[in-house]
Structure 1
Amino acid sequence: MDLSDFRREYTGRGLHREDLNEDPIRQFETWFRQATELEFHEPNAMSLATVDPKGRPLLRTVLLKYFDTAGFVFFTNYESRKAQHIAENPNVSLLFPWITLERQVIVQGRAEKISAAESLKYFISRPRDSQLGAWVSQQSSVVSSRKLLMQKLHEVTEKFRDGEIPLPSFWGGFRVVPETIEFWQGGPARLHDRFLYEKSDKGWAVERLSP
């Protein structure tokens, strides 16, 4: 299939240096709120890129659960493929593809485990079905059938029927501590606006990048 003529023109709302917050986390918060107000579908969905021990990159979509000046937090099985990659190489990248808003945000940084207490705080806020699912899925491992998963779900449901569901030792959060954050705004004639924030000992520096 030839997609060479498959294109659309961006509206060119523009992004100017004087409109940017000096703190990229605050700028991200502004864009995230706007995406939410405009009812963008799952604005917290982000692509997470890791690298395996052979140097091969791998992408998957995960959900951002909260963020602050310390970084961007998501949760997973600590025995999953992504967690194994992070254990070998904590350098990761995040992409927020807010395409219908003609925007995207790219974060580069290092992923690190959050504390068990922090993971527990989030875990107990999850719906009970999601808590059970964390116990059932040995994420990224080969499973012979969905029937086996449902059988495990039944067993776990019975096990914890009469009490609270504890935090699995193999489940928790990662925080991506940002080193660079890029904001991209689509523009006419493919002259997009791109601004890169880069962290140093002196704080955040921001530069305009050529599209």
Structure 2
Amino acid sequence: MGEGDGSRPLDPQAAAERGESVSEQSRPGSGHGHSKGRSYGTTAGLIAGEQSASQLVVGVGYPYLSDLAVGNVVADRFATCDLPDVAVADCSHTPIAAYQTITVGEYDTVVVVGARKRGDGLNTGTSSEDPGRIRTYPTADVPVPESDIVDRLAECAMGSNTVENVVITTKALGEFPAGSTVVDIEPSYDSWGFSVEEFSPAVADRFDTLLETVLDCLERDYSVD
């Protein structure tokens, strides 16, 4: 697939604007553009593993917004590892769809991973408060804001696909298995243009640590090497 002359692949932003997939193209950098809410697994929402698995890794994010794609790239990486008894979901669509993916199985453990910006709003081209910082916390610790839950769900239905919204939506409409975990990393950049195909240095430098942190949250010893 080219940009007109057939010799070069579309860049992720151009492909997204045309509604085309770039998942089969060879991409440099971190792998942005390989995920677009696709589902090529054995059941709805999964990109690897079986719905009967006891553990689920959920990559959340925006595939074409620089560091905010990190959860999708983590999901892609785990999908290639064929980890026993682990299903992998690329939730780069909406929190409502992510909720359905999370609750359709009978998983014992769910790990939600992605970028979570603290401070300014999303898609502003500004940094989070502490770029590259990784946090791990139970899904049970994320409060559901009952006073504005209807507005929150409406926002999610329109595609506000953040780690926080995925967790809140799932808890509002269903539930996580006991002991489920969120692993998030603060982004340095969150918009078009600066680095569509690569992470910022703050996130790139911590990517392997992010993978290891997700592995540590699973119930068995695994490796992505």
Q: TM-score, normalization: structure 1? A: 0.27
Tell me which protein shows more strand as a share of its residues: 1
Task: Report the structure number with the largest CA radius of gyration.
Answer: 1
